[in-house]
Chain A
């Protein structure tokens, strides 16, 4: 099993805020539509998305998602980063497309 710390150590994405590094990551999930993520993202997952707004964070927090990976160069504003940090949710960013970013996490998982 890997944790957010594993993802930080792997150095594959840019770390925006580390949240709680001890949170486990059991699966990787991809979707940009919030209510699909809300209904289908497993608890303790890494969520790869290009949807970078406050609502992304609310969904991650309420659905017990461990970390958010913003793909395709998507960025949160400073207020969102601050909020993620308070919620203990790690945020990473990458220029990679969603699939490639998720594949890198999957490689760490298996």
Chain B
């Protein structure tokens, strides 16, 4: 089987009520495709954390999800402020989340560690002032 499915999403920048819609949409698609619930859960958790990071830290962006027989690849690209120190950002508990989103329950500094934990491959490509692209794979 050679086929590859590709889904594209545009993530609006400031809308916390809609944040998570792209991840929910992908979850429903994977369910319909009959993937096992463990795999779906990994993709859902990792993609949501990336999606919400774009909303909070980067004023939105674009997500591409590629589904092939071997893996599910999520590419999250934004033109936000970028991440100066990626190793530091990956640390458990490191967060620059502003006060107004902390009051909604964000800002534990566990989003990026969750993305790492629930995927088989993760790469962050970021340039300060240019943007961030996070690529994550969950193997099938």
Give residues in A with beta carbon < 8 Å to B. Answer: 32-36, 38-39, 43, 51, 53-56, 58-59, 61-64
Within B49-68, the residues touching A (CB, 8 Å) are: 49, 52
| CA–CA, A54 and B55, complex, Å | 14
> A58 near B24 (CB under 8 angstroms)?
yes
| CA–CA, A64 and B19, complex, Å | 17
A-chain residues with CB within 8 Å of residue B117 when the two chains form the complex: 39
Which of B20, B41, B113, B118 interacts with A55 by CB under 8 Å? B20
Which of B20, B27, B37, B108 interacts with A35 by CB under 8 Å? B108
> A53 near B49 (CB under 8 angstroms)?
no
Task: Label chain A's interface by main secondary structure.
Answer: helix
A-chain residues with CB within 8 Å of residue B17 when the two chains form the complex: 54
Number of chain B residues whose Cβ lies closer than 8 Å to a Cβ of chain A: 26
B-chain residues with CB within 8 Å of residue A64 when the two chains form the complex: 37, 41
> A62 near B105 (CB under 8 angstroms)?
no
| CA–CA, A64 and B45, complex, Å | 10
Specify the chain B residue showing the minimal Cβ separation from A54.
Answer: B17
| CA–CA, A83 and B33, complex, Å | 23
B80 within 8 A of A: no
Which of B24, B105, B111, B118 interacts with A51 by CB under 8 Å? B105
With A33-B108, A34-B106, A34-B108: A55-B24 Cβ-Cβ less than 8 Å: no
Specify the chain B residue showing the minimal Cβ separation from A79.
Answer: B17
A-chain residues with CB within 8 Å of residue B111 when the two chains form the complex: 35, 38
Which of B16, B106, B108 interacts with A54 by CB under 8 Å? B16
| CA–CA, A63 and B106, complex, Å | 16
Interchain nearest-CB distance for B89 vs A (Å): 13
Which of B45, B104, B109, B113 interacts with A63 by CB under 8 Å? B45
Interchain nearest-CB distance for A36 vs B (Å): 5
Interchain nearest-CB distance for A49 vs B (Å): 8
Specify the chain B residue showing the minimal Cβ separation from A39.
Answer: B114
> A39 near B24 (CB under 8 angstroms)?
no
| CA–CA, A55 and B118, complex, Å | 19
> A56 near B20 (CB under 8 angstroms)?
no
Pairs A–B under 8 Å by Cβ, sample size 5: A34-B108, A39-B110, A51-B104, A58-B48, A63-B41
